[in-house]
Amino acid sequence: MKLRLNDEIKIYTFEIYNGQDTKRVMQQLQKHIQSLQEGLPSIAFDEKKGSKVLLLFDSSACMRAVMTRVCSESVFLNFKNLFLFCDTQTSNTQFDSWCSCDGKLVKL
């Protein structure tokens, strides 16, 4: 998705995860890495900007497990700051509050 926030264009891909299957989530995140490496989200919106991936989880336990793996696995070393996490309980009240894999709050 392409958003204009504070007169700045930002590009995001967006995924929603239901359930507890962290293995499936991690497989999808590796596909996102490939897409980011190729610049596909930016190409799709004809923007010369990098993009980030918004990950919305129904289960906060699954989200925390994925956050831990993203922060610790070497495959994500150069990409971990491009993944932003939120759970559905938080997004219902504060959709603009996301966090990095180390739990630090990040505004969109």
Q: What is the mean pLDDT of the chain?
A: 89
Q: What order do you get walking across the sheet with 2-5 strand by strand? A: 2-5, 8-17, 51-57, 83-87, 97-99, 105-107
Average pLDDT over residues 13-24: 92
Burial of 96 (0-12, 13-18, 19+ CB in 10 A): exposed
One-letter amino acid of 54: L
pLDDT tens by residue, 27-75: 999 999 999 999 898 889 888 888 899 999 999 999 999 999 999 999 9
Alpha-carbon 60 to chain mean position:
14
Quote the pTM value. 0.88
